[in-house]
Structure formats: structure tokens, C-alpha cells
A and B are shown apart, each in its own frame.
Chain A
Amino acid sequence: MWTFVHKLGSPKWCHALCARLQPGFWIAAGLLLAVGAVWSLAFSPPDYQMGDSYRIIYVHVPAAILAQSVFVGMALASAVFLIWKIKVADMAATVMAPFGAAMTFLGLFTGSLWGVPTWGTWWTWDARLTAMLIQLFLYIGVIALRGAYGRDDQGAKAVAVLTLVGVVNIPIIKYSVVWWNTLHQPATFTLTERPAMPASMWVPLLIMVLGFYSFFIALTLYRLRNEIMRRESRTRWVQALAD
């Protein structure tokens, strides 16, 4: 077990492992997203109040879940980088950030599209919406801070600290609908209770969430390989690969 974890820290070994894992996740992502999209758009029933406009949740919910999971992933990688000085962890945090930012934007965007017919407004300064907007700014801040240091990994430490500071926002997003009065509804899914929707609605949603996760993992493995190659381009094994 520990030798496996230690090996992950080696860029060369990690590069090879990513290559081996990648195809499986790409296939899973393709299948899950295709099945989930067709099922959720064509076969799941409409809602009794909102009709078909509720179907936005099949993009909105997975995007919002990913927006938060990706940041937690980045924070874990940053902690590993700061404590054990493992460079691969920093590379992983680097490649995850743009995808997380995209998911945060997608969550906000689809939410406001849904807000117009349902709530009667595009935007309101409610705790959940505002915390999510702050999350988007945190992502942009992390990406910008890394960009400010140029191509080298000098800024890695500062970025890791910012990511760890930013992770405090995640529980605030999660519990904002519980702690305060908000326009945003509380979670439909919890680990402890039955979902507040029938199986014909939540099964396709679960498939979409798993599809988004698979896509994220596949994309991260792919981008991590590129990042390893780029940062290790002076080493002998990368040059041997390139020849």
C-alpha cells in the first residue's frame, strides 16, 4: 500500500499510471453521459409544478457537485504538496483548477436560467448563490495567482496556501441552505434520507453525476500527463519518450 503511494510521487511512474487508467474513464464517461442525457431529457417524467423546465437539474446538480468536489481535490493535493513536497500533487492541483472553474460557472449559469421561470428572477443575493459566486472568484484567483508567477513552479506554495484558505468556503456553500433563510431550496439528496424525488427522476440524475465524475477524472489524467511532460521536459525519461 505505502509503496504504491510513494510511487505516485514519481512523475515517471505517475505518467505511466495515468496512461493506463485513462481509457477506462473515457469510456465510462462517454457511456454514462450518453445514457444519462437521453434518459433524463426523453424518458424521465416532467415535474408536477415546473413541467419540463426542472430538467435543468440534470446539468445543474452534477455541475455544482463537481464544482465543490474539484476544489476539495485541489485542497487535498495542495496539502500533500506543502507537507511532503511532492511535485506531482502540485501538478494535479494545477490541471484541476480550470475544470472546476468551468463547472462553477456552468452551475451558476444553468441555475439562473432555471431561476427565471421558477423564481421569477435571474439572480438574488441569497447565501447559496453568493457563496457559489465567491467560489468562482476563488477558482479565478487560484488560476490567476499561478499565472502571475509564469511557467515555473515558483508560485506553487502561494497557490497551495490560497487553495487551502479557499476550501473553507466549501462547507459554507454546502450548509448555506440550512444555516440561513435562502431562496435556493435545500438539498434533494442526503446520505441519511430517501431522496425527495421518485426513482424515475433520480436514477438518471445519479447517472449524470457519475458521468460528470468520470469525465473529470479522465480529463484530469489526460491533462496531468501533459503537465508532467511539460514540467519534467529536461529529464532523460521524457526526452527518451519524445525521441
Chain B
Amino acid sequence: MRANRKRRLVIVLALVALVAVAAGLTLYALRANINLFFTPSQVAAGEAPLGRTLRLGGVVKKDSVERHQDTLHVSFQVTDFASDVEVSFDDILPDLFREGQGVVVVGQLDADGEFIAQQVLAKHDENYMPPEAAEALKAAGNLPDGSVPSS
């Protein structure tokens, strides 16, 4: 390789390395803001701000969903299998919402530690399955819908 080509190769590699380091440091500095949601454990540890709009992510706890008879009001607990957060919501839930399903809830945390949701988003995991396979898993006592933590 001729000398000037080698020099250009070094310049190109240095450029990419430099930009990668710059991007890496920026993202590292912003890491708290890039996370889409707080986990229930972070809420329990007091890391989530009160009275500000934030997102809470986790799994809808088994047997925690209570629907109001006459209104859309629904309350449920979001868990990460370490801590739980009580959530109340007054609007239409997405189709994928069910117990054991991963969700991201947008709303505010009030002083009692209850989460007042404005929007509920269902999170789909990386598993896809035909209905028959899901039935077979269910028959074997191994529910596919998140009764075991998926990650």
C-alpha cells in the first residue's frame, strides 16, 4: 500500500472512531432521557419524579385488573416481578391488553404512589406463535402470555 493511501486509511478509520466515541459519550450522558419508561422498581426506589408526565413499563400483574361496571374506569397493577405500582385509567385499552401482557403506561404519579394513566400502550415481545402452538403450551401448563417473565 502506498504511503498516501495508508495515510488516508488512517484518517478514515480515525474519523469513524472519533464520531463513534462522540456519539457514545452523548448517548451515555443522555441515558436517563432515552429510556422510554421507568420500571416499577425504579418507582419504588423513588427515582421517578412526582406530578410530572412520565412512562411506566412492566407487566400487568395476574388477577389485578378491576373494571368498573358502568364506566370505562379500570385499575390494575404493573409489576416487574420485584415491585408493583397501582395504575388507574379512564379510557379505551388496546386490543393486546390483558393480564400478563407487557404494557407502557403514560401518566403521572400522585403523592400516594398511585399512577394516574392518560394512555396505555401494549408492548409486544419478540415471540410469535400460531394459535395451535399457544394452545399446546397452555395445555402443558406453560402459559405463553407472560405468566413467566419473557426476558
Check if A and B associate: yes
How many of A's residues come within 8 Å of B, CB to CB?
42
Q: Is the CB of B94 within 8 A of A120?
A: yes
Chain B: interface residue count, which band? Answer: 35 or more
Residue A185 contacts which of B5, B36, B123 (CB distance < 8 angstroms)?
Answer: B123
Which residues of chain B from 83 to 117 have a CB within 8 Å of any chain A CB?
93-96, 104
State in angstroms the CA–CA spacing of A118 and B145 once bound together: 15
Count of A-B residue pairs with CB < 8 Å: 121
How many angstroms between the C-alpha atoms of A50 and B144 in the bound complex? Answer: 13
| A54-B128 contact given A181-B39, A198-B133, CB 8 Å threshold | yes
Interface 1/0 per residue, B12-40 and A, CB below 8 Å: 10011001100100010001001111010
State in angstroms the CA–CA spacing of A83 and B27 once bound together.
Answer: 30
- Chain B, residues 116-133, CB within 8 Å of chain A (1/0): the string is 000111111111111111
Contact flag A182-B124 (CB < 8 Å), given A46-B130, A165-B15 = no
Q: Kindly list chain B residues whose C-beta atoms are within 8 Å of the C-beta of A18.
A: none
Name the prevailing secondary structure of the A interface residues.
loop
Chain B residues engaging chain A, CB cutoff 8 angstroms: 5, 8-9, 11-12, 15-16, 19-20, 23, 27, 31, 34-37, 39, 57, 93-96, 104, 119-135, 144-145, 151
Residues on A lying within 8 angstroms of B by beta carbon are 45-50, 54, 57, 79, 82-84, 117-121, 124-127, 161, 164-165, 167-169, 172, 179-183, 185-188, 196-198, 200-201
